[in-house]
Structure 1
Amino acid sequence: MRRLQEDSEPRLSHGFSIRRMTLDDLTAVMALEQAAFKNPWSAELLKRELEHEWSTILLVEEPRESVPPLLLGLAIFWIVHDEVHVLNVATAPQHRRRGVARAVMEEVLERGKGRRCCLATLEVRKSNEPAIQLYRSFGFRPVGIRPNYYADEREDAVVMVLDF
């Protein structure tokens, strides 16, 4: 499958710039992952995601005068057949509650619709009420529980689905 040309062009959403990650972004993305999660994704795993045709990593940045943009958040998702599967959404802790996750989720879902997907799925920590509320605001609904999905903390995941 060839990637669509529009996937590589940065877009503005909610005052943020959203673009695809490249290998040059790895150091900044690793710093964001480590700040956002107890168990961040590894550099090797992120590199592998960059190689898969079905995988996309979007970065949310804040444009700044005379200096490079500031990385605020990201989303990792797959488009397989007619489904968008969201694997990871992260926002830098100091930039939460600014609409970063909302902006990147809107972009993820728009890209899925643009590829004629009919549903989106994700797993979210049962204890992550802010994320659950965000996903509900897009129309996601809980459809099940994956026991001990987050094995290190022995925490269940809520499986959520959105029909387009």
Structure 2
Amino acid sequence: MRRPVEPDRPAAPLAPAPFAFRRMALDDLARVMEIEKDGFAHPWSADLLRREMVHDWSTILLATELRDGRAGVAREAILGFIVFWLVHDELHVLNIATALEARRRGVGRALMDEAAQRARRGGAVLATLEVRRSNASAIALYRALGYRQVGIRPNYYADEGEDAIVMLLDL
């Protein structure tokens, strides 16, 4: 006995993305610097971030979400950022940081995914980055995203004399 064919059901609506993404504006600098200082013993300077904002090949991308503000008015909260270069067919990740209160929520993964998607659309076929040898959580994230170790840069982080692991991903 054959079962009757069920009519097509409308697809369930997609869940909204947990974060929104946008390029950094100069007005965001103070918040980005807070996140940078909370995340690194030797943070980038505000001057360095300002310089990255004006290069054609450089992007500082923010992960944001809306939060309830005063009088019930939603306000945008910056949860993290990624700095990357898109040069020819290569994405190079220079810096990524997540706000202390937003850690363990997938912000870093979402930023890495968004940067890779934008790079693919821009013609990139390869992604590279350097990561501190001691940064086990970042290394685990990058491996989970498909990055593989391809080399070591001795004393790359000169302030601590720490090596960098060079990682690569085929986009």
Identity of aligned residues (%): 58
* Alignment partners' CA distance in 1, 2:168 and 2:107: 21
The normalised TM-score by structure 2 is 0.86
For residue 157 of structure 2, the aligned residue among 142, 150, 161 is: 150
* Alignment partners' CA distance in 2, 1:154 and 1:111: 33
Larger mean Cα displacement after TM superposition, 37-46 or 65-74: 65-74
For residue 88 of structure 1, the aligned residue among 89, 95, 107 is: 95
What aligned pairs does 1:55-70 form with structure 2 within 5 A after superposition? 55-65=58-68, 66-70=73-77
Unpaired segments of 5 or more residues in structure 1? 1-11
Q: Which has the larger radius of gyration?
A: 2
Could you give the per-residue CA deviations for residues 92-138 of structure 1, whole angstroms, max 9, x where no partner exists? 12321110001100100000110111100000010111111111111
**1:78 maps onto 2:85 in alignment:** yes
**1:118 maps onto 2:125 in alignment:** yes
Query: RMSD in angstroms over aligned alpha carbons?
Result: 1.4
Unpaired segments of 5 or more residues in structure 2? 1-14
2:115 counterpart residue number:
108
| 1:20 alignment partner AA | R
* Alignment partners' CA distance in 2, 1:29 and 1:85: 20
The normalised TM-score by structure 1 is 0.89
